[in-house]
Amino acid sequence: MAPALAPAALFGLIIGSFLNVVAWRLPRGESLVKPRSKCPGCDTQLKAYDNIPLFSWLVLRGRCRNCKTSISARYPVVEAVTGALYALVVAVKHDDAAQLVLGLVLVTFLVPIAVIDLDVRRIPNALTAPAAVLAIVLGALLAPHDLPEQLAAGAAALIFFMLPAMLSKKGMGMGDVKLAAVLGLYLGRAVAPAIFIALILGVVVGVAVMTSTGVTAGRKVKIPFGPFLAAGALIAFFVGDSLVDSYTDRF
């Protein structure tokens, strides 16, 4: 399988470049296909050779060729992370077609969802809705025997987050609720450890913020939960079933 990892990583870099476009334009209501990418400083449209994923940013040292405006390191990071995750999915799930496809699709949606939530504190329905539909369609086509578990997990995750969201307006946002349901559709029973991991990560970061800024100021800092859900989902995608089996075997 080693030879397949390089093409997977390369394809992930290309997809990551497009996901940067999605993360920037979708929340702003802009077209995802036109115009071509341009420099944020001088509005010069980027040449094809200046828009090669990861490589161009490194060669240009993170600056526009024309005006030398600094280009955010977020762009190559998103590309590199997407490429690495694509390669990891292929490496771990290459012998399971359904899991392989679901994993690649899950990564493709979670990367822009996490970035957008960090940017604008919102998870667009334009991402969660098609992600949910694709999960059900792919599950029905590739692994119909697992579809009941997918649907049950999605419903359980939805209810788990819906209740606190309804009880407190300051708690979970509806974007997080919908995302949790989508994760259930992709992860099945592994959504449980995904949520648990996300909650732990959220607590750790929250404590870190309060430690650095003080408890009073830290409580006022709004931290989006979507990236934690995304991280928990990606971890659970690879080890979630093992964690569930370990827990049920023990208890």
Same domain, 91 and 108: no
Please provide the average confidence, as pLDDT, over all residues in the chain. 90
Report the range of poorest mean pLDDT among 9-13, 105-109, 156-160, 240-244.
240-244
Nearest to 8 by CA among 86, 79, 111: 86
Which residues does 48 contact at the CB level (< 8 Å), separation at least 6?
none
Single residue among 78, 95, 112 that ends a domain in this structure:
95
Position with higher pLDDT, 10 vs 222: 10
Both 222 and 249 in one domain: the answer is: yes
Band of the pLDDT at 97, cuts 50, 70, 90?
A: very high
pLDDT surpassing 80 at residue 219? no
Residue that finishes a domain, picked among 71, 95, 119? 95
Residue 229 is predicted with a pLDDT of 97
Residue with the bigger pLDDT between 220 and 84: it is 84
Nearest-angstrom CA–CA distance, 112 and 115: 5
Same domain assignment for residues 153 and 192: yes
CA angle 69, 74, 75 (to 5 degrees): 75
- Do 91 and 109 have their domain in common? no
pLDDT average, residue stretch 58-72: 84
87 and 135, same structural domain? no
Q: Could you give the C-alpha distances from 156 to 77, 150, 177, 225, 242, in angstroms and in order? A: 33, 10, 11, 18, 20
The reply to whether 57 and 137 lie within a common domain is no
Q: What is the pTM of this model?
A: 0.92
Please tell me whether residues 118 and 171 are part of one structural domain. Answer: yes
CB 160 within 8 A of CB 153: no
Q: What is the pLDDT of residue 171?
A: 62
Least confident of 20-24, 147-151, 171-175, 179-183: 171-175
Same domain, 120 and 45: no
Do 108 and 81 lie in one domain? The reply is no
**Boundary of a domain, candidates 95, 130, 162:** 95
* Residue of higher predicted confidence among 39 and 76: 76
Do 236 and 171 fall into the same domain? Answer: yes
Same domain, 234 and 136: yes
Residues 87 and 140 in one domain: no
Q: Which domain holds residue 42?
A: 1-95
Q: How many domains does the chain have?
A: 2
